[in-house]
């Protein structure tokens, strides 16, 4: 399947529930080989909380796009099958002394359902969300498909790594960045 059957558009507050459901599903699919079963059950149990969190973020973005931008991908049936968000560098406690990136645009997340992998949809979401702008992201170790994708898009590891927070079972991750002109 090519990506011609997908619509990519800015997410709006009314998309929060579908965004959250797809978020939970993609986490389960993407990290089945990395994360323990309780991780997936915990996210499923937190669906209402995630919906509210996404609704707050999408509402803030609808008032002021400098807070970030979120995008969704919709298939021909109207179902959300992917999403991405970027914005200013997050101030997160788990960074444990890792210096802030000199690049201020962070790709917060980008996920698509497994059934859409290989269609070009991830590329469309990345292009919509950050284009070719300098940016950085954090990626879990042992996620070779995602690492290849980001490398194809000019991202390289910057040498910083650390464990995720407790809800992510302290799994190791590393930072990748893409500078100007990448």
Is the per-residue pLDDT at 3 higher than 80? no
Structure pTM? 0.92
Angle between helices 37-45 and 47-63 (to 10 degrees): 60
In this prediction, residue 95 carries a pLDDT of 63
In this prediction, residue 181 carries a pLDDT of 43
User: Going from the N-terminus, what domains does the chain have, and what CATH number goes with each?
Assistant: 3-178 (3.40.630.30)
In this prediction, residue 107 carries a pLDDT of 97
- State mean pLDDT over 65-92: 92
Closest CA to 17 of 63, 62, 50, 56: 50
Give pLDDT tens digits for 106-136: 999 999 999 999 999 999 999 999 999 999 9
Q: How far apart are CA 27 and CA 111, in angstroms?
A: 8
Q: How far apart are CA 182 and CA 180, in angstroms?
A: 6
- State mean pLDDT over 94-113: 87
Give pLDDT tens digits for 17-49: 999 999 999 999 999 999 999 999 999 999 999
Where residue 97 falls among pLDDT bands split at 50, 70, 90?
Answer: confident
In this prediction, residue 182 carries a pLDDT of 42
């Amino acid at each position: 399947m090519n990506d011609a059957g997908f619509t990519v558009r800015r997410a709006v507050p009314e998309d929060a529930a579908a965004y959250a459901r797809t978020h939970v599903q993609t986490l389960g699919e993407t990290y089945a080989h990395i994360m323990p079963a309780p991780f997936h059950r915990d996210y499923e149990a937190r669906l209402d909380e995630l919906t509210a969190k996404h609704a707050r973020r999408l509402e803030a973005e609808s008032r002021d796009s400098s807070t970030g931008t979120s995008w969704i991908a919709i298939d021909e049936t109207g179902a959300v099958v992917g999403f991405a968000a970027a914005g200013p560098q997050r101030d997160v406690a788990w960074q444990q002394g890792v210096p802030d990136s000199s690049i201020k645009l962070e790709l917060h997340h980008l996920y698509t359902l497994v059934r859409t992998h290989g269609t070009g949809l991830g590329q469309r979401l990345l292009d919509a969300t950050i284009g070719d702008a300098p940016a950085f992201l954090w990626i879990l170790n042992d996620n070779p498909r995602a690492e290849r994708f980001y490398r194809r898009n000019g991202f390289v590891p910057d040498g910083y790594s650390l464990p995720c927070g407790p809800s992510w079972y302290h799994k190791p991750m590393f930072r990748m960045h893409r500078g100007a002109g990448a």
